[in-house]
Structure 1
Amino acid sequence: MSLDNTAIPTISRVLDDGTLIELLFDPANGTTAFAVARPDGHVSIESQVELPKGERLIPYSASNNLIVNDCVLLPSDVGDFMEKGDVLGRVQTFIHRYVDLPETFERIAAHYVLLSWVYDAFSDLPYLRFRGDFGTGKTRALLTIGSLCYKSFLASGASTVSPIFHIQDAFQGTLVLDEADFRFSDATTQLTKVLNNGTTRGMPVLRTMANRNRELNPQAFRVFGPKLIAMREQFSDLALESRFLTVETSGRTLRTDVPIHLPESFKREALQLRNLLLAWRLRSRFSTGPDPSRAALGVAPRYRQTSLALLSLVDDADLRAQICRELAGEEARGLQERADTLEAAMLTAISETFAASPGPHAAIKDVADRFNALAAEELGRPMSNKWIGGFVRRRLRLLTIKTSGVYAVPQTEKAKCDALARRFGLPLPPDISTSGSGVHAA
């Protein structure tokens, strides 16, 4: 019996003519099929889809381990078509019933669920994170909200990172990651690659692979997509920290009406809502997109970029303002974290040296004296002038020169130093000129 090379196992597809194809899994009957939405608005359930070039899309098998074991959550049917506000209301009611969140974040979470179902209409996305100690409701929040998201799959800190790459690439859904602050450095590094690249379309992660002939054959894994994260602490990568909208779960008394154990009806309710959300996607996918008029104001470009997708779906101006305030708070916390780093201490030392220097340059010896006064206790010992000069060149990318027999940061680097200091949220000494503020750090 010959193999059918025209049959392509498929999870979802957006065809060139605007046809939407989504995988369904009926757990009662143990079958898979396609929900197919044609450009004329007609929606049908089909066992396969023939393409013009002779290829044939077939559903993933219902016996697939990820599907049959609820590792990846799919709709089972196309629900009733409802307006966005009605869908949001149903989603928020479900979230409120099973998890205790501050009201603002409850509403944000409901909108994030909707965003997950149309995320492919955007080029940049934020992540939603729950951070706190054990027993504060992080995992319950992930399970509740994640059970409604688009093609969500749950992974935990006990998972290896490799399956996360492969599942994200194959299903192109919502990563729901519990205990994300892995205790092993290699796993953390690999996870950081997924999260850093996953907010922007067209930024795959390359991993070294070999073909059957042992030839080098690197593979690009698509990791773009919405992500729900739970963790106790935070990532050391400050750039990654700027990609999150964070709910702090510690320090709150949980509502007594939230069930301690999820009832049997939980999965059934979640499935019904996924069916409604699929119907909303099939009708709204091509009428949804970024709305620049709703971009966050008063925050750094990174926050404006990643938050626009979520804000574009929020019709309530008051909620958009609350989200913007949360973003500003996240940015302020990030700046404080950066201000506590060695780079910040070095920039402070260089700025103060420029301000106090009788000449045009900042001598490395004077920079070292000021830096060691700030950071020697944290580092355990004073650092040498040679170490200071290397740090300035390699970490801050500032030029050093030798003048009159001593090494110094030249006056030409002062504007770049000022720009870096502002980026780190550091105050400049009062007599430092800002006339070079238009010069950007390399």
Structure 2
Amino acid sequence: MNELDNLKEAFGKKKKEIVIYTSLHINEENKTIAEQVYDGKESKFCIYASNQEETITYSDEINEGVIYKPHFGEEIRKKAILLPTKPEEYGTDEELDKEIKDFINEWLDVPPDVLQFAVWNIKRSWVYERFHTLNYLRALGDTGQGKSRFLDTLGYIHYKPIATSGASTAAPVFRIIDKWHGTLIMDEADFQKSDEAQDIIKIINQGYEKGRYVMRCDKEKKNRVNFFDPFCPKILATRKAFEDKAVESRCITQVMVGTYRRDINWNLNDRFWEQTQTLRNKLLMWRFRNYFKIDPDKKIDLDLDELEPRVQQIVASFISLFGDNEKQLQQFKKFILNYQGELIEERRDSFAGMVVNGIHKLIEIGKEDISAKDIIEEEQITNKKGHLISSRGLSSTLKSLGFGKTKQKRSDGNNKRCIPLNPKHLIHLFKRYAYDVTVVTVVTEQRKIKEEAVQGESGGNRMHRYNRYTDTHNSKDITKNILEIINHLSNKLDTIPIENILQTTQKAHIPNEKVEEAIEYLKREGLIYEPRCGFLKKL
């Protein structure tokens, strides 16, 4: 028995009509969508059907055994939420995209790639229920740099925009999202540490994924638990990055730097509000025509295997919007690769990034037994007084980076607690922070040599294995040694950056021109090929 049947049974005993107030009703079986519209005087449902041919009707209610009626409240009258007045014809997708871009350009100064992404984000918001996860659009910058204009221009043409600010308390924000399921536009979202701020952060943090309800006890009935659904598009403006890294990682950020353009109107006049209303009406028609066409599970090969899981989530919720448009796919690919690059750069600049850099440097110089103290000294990590921090100061960071419990070891004549260096973990970590992973190969080789030496194996033969990487320039068969390096890296990487090979051979003092000659020979022999510029792959 489904929820609707339960309602009918519960209310049927009392012979009362079941009335549900909502701004949206979708009938998946009949492929109809009913959206609440407001003409400035009254609200009603605009009902779109497309089984045989496209039809649009209006009604004050929908009766399907349960009666659905449009919401009412002062938020409509005071325009705290902005609804379409009616669906309007928009022409082709290309014509709609151009109209959106022209509008944004008239009122806001952003780079072309951000402009294009804004169009995708706007259109996705009008069909967001079709997706499982959403990222957030965020304007970051100091006072007077255009953050509020960013929110106004983009936000008011998103799906059912709900304007609020960081000064709002959590309770009404929970309820307004749960009631309207529109786009939350939050200005001044820089929260001071407080219980209220933490609740707002939960809305942002939990609301990126479908099905992550926030539970709250009913104030009047203590035994009743209320479930609020925070899943919806969100556009934020902040003066600084979020301290909560989970929230920060879910934001596509545009740093606002003001504008030198003189053709942008300083005030939002009547023309602005008329344009936003027209675009909301046209986007409503676009929603009607595309809602059931969107396939969130559609597989499109963009050759983006190196993307991180969280970035892959972003890709999945966008490419179904323009999967048949090769030009937009390539624009999106370029944008998303730049975005991942920015994420990695921010990660490297963080405190954890400093720790990873220290570990990488120590491994690079051949150090196998690494303690927290070694990392602190290598990176010169100091406290506010300028003194080196204690080893305990790295404990939580090392744990968050995935390192296990330290072990007591004898190294360089001293006893010290060393972090475990698992090669697979190190490769994953260095990839995540965009460091050369081939240093792990050197450490692994050194470890094997030591283990074999302990077992009594011949040192001369084992040192020859190490010399493949250190003394290759003395060998008569450089090509063979280059192929061995490629074979080794192929166990960890699908496509091998030529830069990684050069970094390995440079440590062994092999001239770059000899390496390039060997690579060209291997390509001619059909042992390797270059799938794209700067990368190699085994055949």
TM-score range (shorter-chain normalised) is: 0.7 to 0.9
- State the SS of the aligned residue for 2:148: helix
State the Cα deviation string for residues 87-114 of structure 1 (Å, max 9, x = none): 2232222222222222332233223222
Q: Which amino acid aligns with 2:418?
A: A
The 5 A counterparts of 1:159-198 are 159-184=168-193, 186-198=195-207
CA distance in 2, matches of 1:384, 1:135: 41
| Number of the residue aligned with 2:233 | 226
| Number of the residue aligned with 1:45 | 58
Deviation at 1:212, TM superposition (A): 3.0
Going from structure 1 to structure 2, the CA distance change for 1:20 and 1:100 (only over 3 Å counts) comes to same
- State the SS of the aligned residue for 2:254: strand
Deviation at 1:44, TM superposition (A): 0.6
- State the SS of the aligned residue for 2:317: helix
| Number of the residue aligned with 1:272 | 278
Going from structure 1 to structure 2, the CA distance change for 1:118 and 1:330 (only over 3 Å counts) comes to same
Deviation at 1:174, TM superposition (A): 0.9
Higher mean C-alpha displacement, 274-283 vs 218-227: 218-227
The 5 A counterparts of 1:95-174 are 95-174=104-183
CA distance in 2, matches of 1:399, 1:19: 57
Q: Which amino acid aligns with 1:409?
A: I
CA distance in 1, matches of 2:150, 2:62: 37
| Number of the residue aligned with 1:55 | 66
How many residue pairs end up in the alignment?
424
Going from structure 1 to structure 2, the CA distance change for 1:401 and 1:109 (only over 3 Å counts) comes to same
How does the TM-score come out when normalised to structure 2? 0.70
Contact 1:294 1:308 in 2 (8 A): no
CA distance in 1, matches of 2:280, 2:312: 29
Deviation at 1:308, TM superposition (A): 3.1
CA distance in 2, matches of 1:196, 1:402: 39
Contact 2:113 2:335 in 1 (8 A): no
| Number of the residue aligned with 1:377 | 382
Contact 1:289 1:309 in 2 (8 A): no
Identity of paired residues, percent? 25
CA distance in 1, matches of 2:249, 2:129: 21
Contact 1:245 1:327 in 2 (8 A): no
- State the SS of the aligned residue for 1:422: helix
CA distance in 1, matches of 2:203, 2:278: 30
> Any stretches of 5+ residues in structure 1 without a counterpart?
none
Going from structure 1 to structure 2, the CA distance change for 1:16 and 1:214 (only over 3 Å counts) comes to same
Going from structure 1 to structure 2, the CA distance change for 1:66 and 1:351 (only over 3 Å counts) comes to same
Q: Which amino acid aligns with 2:346?
A: E
- State the SS of the aligned residue for 1:134: coil
Deviation at 1:146, TM superposition (A): 1.6
Higher relative contact order (CA 8 A, sep 6+): 1
CA distance in 1, matches of 2:202, 2:273: 32
Deviation at 1:175, TM superposition (A): 1.3
State the Cα deviation string for residues 62-104 of structure 1 (Å, max 9, x = none): xx12111111110112223633223223222222222222233
State the Cα deviation string for residues 209-236 of structure 1 (Å, max 9, x = none): 2453423x44332222222222222223
| Number of the residue aligned with 1:259 | 265
- State the SS of the aligned residue for 2:82: coil
- State the SS of the aligned residue for 1:377: coil
Contact 1:343 1:396 in 2 (8 A): no
Going from structure 1 to structure 2, the CA distance change for 1:127 and 1:363 (only over 3 Å counts) comes to closer
The 5 A counterparts of 1:43-442 are 43-51=56-64, 54-61=65-72, 64-80=73-89, 82-184=91-193, 186-204=195-213, 206-210=214-218, 212-215=220-223, 217-250=224-257, 252-253=259-260, 255-290=261-296, 291-293=298-300, 295=302, 297=304, 298-314=306-322, 316-353=325-362, 362=369, 364=371, 367-378=372-383, 380=385, 381-386=387-392, 388=394, 392-393=398-399, 396-403=402-409, 406-410=416-420, 413-427=422-436, 430=439, 431-433=442-444
